[in-house]
Chain A
Amino acid sequence: DIVMTQSPDSLAVSLGERATINCKSSQNVLYTSDNKNYLAWYQQKPGQPPKLLLYWASTREPGVPDRFSGSGSGTDFTLTISSLQAEDVAVYYCQQYYSTLRTFGQGTKLEIK
């Protein structure tokens, strides 16, 4: 199985500051046939199901604020929140869909400093 490792496990950022979460996969998730990275990011708030934020590593789901952005390719990926808002407090997960056997990162808990 592809192992997804996020860093850090938790993060405290001041309102209006940048938050950066990293995700590393144990193998390449870039399909050469379509040149797409099969990597998604989800946000989960307490008591709610996960919400899709980004897919193909950097494409925002409609309705997701543009302060959320994704980058990276191959095995190393980053989720960036450019200016943290109070409503962004949540746990963030990366997930690969390169393999039918899906795997998630362990999650990164984002809090306000």
Chain B
Amino acid sequence: QVQLVQSGAEVKKPGASVKVSCKASGYTFTSYYMHWVRQAPGQGLEWMGIINPSGGSTTYAQKFQGRVTMTRDTSTSTVYMELSSLRSEDTAVYYCARDSSPWLQLPGYYLDYWGQGTLVTASS
């Protein structure tokens, strides 16, 4: 069965960086795009970007351009999301989510499997 298991909660000081991991299993890792979505406390869902696990290409939401980097390690079927220059407004739960399209052609499809979420707290 498809599983996305994320790394544990993080507490960082403003200005620091955080790197969250998402380990995939139960399917061919390099055949499906992966997305990152975040949710601030009590707020809605915010799409951050997408990575092609096969070639490593990425597309980011404009809001995060220059601050976010998504990478992958095909040997461990893991994707990573690193967010730099953290500010208090970045405090949120960060989710990885698999794109359901098996074709690796953008724009892709809907998000069918989600990780459990990783709480990142940016606080002094």
Contacts and interface: CB of A to CB of B under 8 A. Distances in A.
A binds B: yes
Interface of A: 1, 38, 40, 42, 44, 49-52, 55, 61, 91, 93, 95, 97-107
Contacts of B80: none
B61 interface: yes
A73 B69 CA distance: 35
Contacts of B50: 100, 102
B11 interface: no
Q: Bin chain B's interface residue count.
A: 20 to 34
Contacts of B37: 50, 104
B7 interface: no
A63 to B, nearest CB: 12
A95 B46 contact: no
29 contacts: A38-B107, A40-B110, A44-B45, A49-B95, A49-B97, A49-B114, A49-B115, A49-B116, A50-B97, A50-B111, A50-B114, A52-B112, A55-B109, A91-B44, A93-B44, A95-B47, A95-B110, A95-B111, A97-B107, A97-B110, A100-B50, A100-B106, A100-B107, A101-B47, A101-B59, A101-B61, A101-B62, A102-B35, A107-B45
Contacts of B117: 49
B98 to A, nearest CB: 10
Contact of A61 (B47, B112, B114): B112
A35 to B, nearest CB: 15
Contacts of B114: 49-51
Chain A: interface secondary structure? loop
Contacts of B61: 101
Contacts of B47: 95, 101-104
Contact of B45 (A38, A50, A61, A101): A50
